[in-house]
Amino acid sequence: MLTALMSGHALTATELAQEAGITVQTASSHLAKLSDGGLLALRKQGRHRYFSLSNEDVAQVLEGLMGLAARAGHLRVRTGPREPALRNARVCYDHLAGDQGVRLYEAMVARKLLAVKDKNAILTKPGAAFIGEFGIELEPLERARRPLCRLCLDWSARRTHLAGGLGAAFLERFYALKWARREADSRVVTFSRRGEKDFEALIAV
């Protein structure tokens, strides 16, 4: 159920029960415990109750646990046509993950747009100029409560991708430019042919 909520969408107990293959009653019991533990946020709208991850910290921990499970051989993955696409590019809460997310982060570090110190990422002055040229406004991101840059361990690539306000802003910008789109009812992010070409140019070292 927590993995389903990594999409960033809020889901009902019925929807989460279907994801987990359990009864709604069992799902509701687990959801109540997860909510009490501060992992989930509950929002009521009319007679419906929607659950979502409480914050980005929970998503980051989940991504790390999925990587640990994969290394230990205990990760349950629904194999099928979408699995390669999921590993290539997907939503991790609200930022880009998978191979493409890792490549974006590593290119920014290689070009000294991000400086990594004590496992923290800092946007450099060239980095600030870079995102401004790309159409991302820095000032609103700096005013927000969430960290500007966070490092998230990618479960499939087992390397780092960029989270935080800047990670989310990059993904929103890719959508706005129509480089990529979110697949319906999935965490998969699909890049268009033109989007792939422009993305490659963006991250070129």
Clarify whether residues 31 and 83 are in a common domain: no
Clarify whether residues 41 and 125 are in a common domain: no
Is a pLDDT exceeding 60 seen at residue 81?
A: no
Clarify whether residues 72 and 49 are in a common domain: no
Domain boundaries, position 67: 57-203
Last residue of a domain, one of 34, 54, 74: 54
The domain tally of the chain equals 2
Q: Which amino acid belongs to residue 46?
A: G
Predicted local distance difference test score (pLDDT) of residue 124: 97
**pLDDT, tens digit, 9 for 90 and up, residues 29-76:** 999 999 999 999 999 888 889 999 988 889 888 887 877 777 666 655
93 with 59: CB under 8 angstroms? yes
Q: For the beta carbon of residue 13, count every other beta carbon within 10 angstroms.
A: 21
Clarify whether residues 88 and 183 are in a common domain: yes
Clarify whether residues 172 and 132 are in a common domain: yes
Q: For the beta carbon of residue 171, count every other beta carbon within 10 angstroms.
A: 23
Averaged pLDDT for residues 125-153: 95
* Separation between Cα atoms, residue 138 and residue 56, nearest integer Å: 19
Clarify whether residues 94 and 166 are in a common domain: yes
- CATH number for the domain that contains residue 17: 1.10.10.10
Q: 121-127 — which CB contacts under 8 Å span 24+ positions?
A: 121/149, 121/150, 121/151, 121/162, 121/164, 122/149, 123/148, 123/149, 123/166
* Separation between Cα atoms, residue 205 and residue 199, nearest integer Å: 12
Clarify whether residues 125 and 43 are in a common domain: no
In this prediction the pTM is 0.77
Predicted local distance difference test score (pLDDT) of residue 76: 55
Clarify whether residues 76 and 33 are in a common domain: no
Predicted local distance difference test score (pLDDT) of residue 73: 66
Is a pLDDT exceeding 90 seen at residue 113?
A: yes
Is a pLDDT exceeding 90 seen at residue 157?
A: no
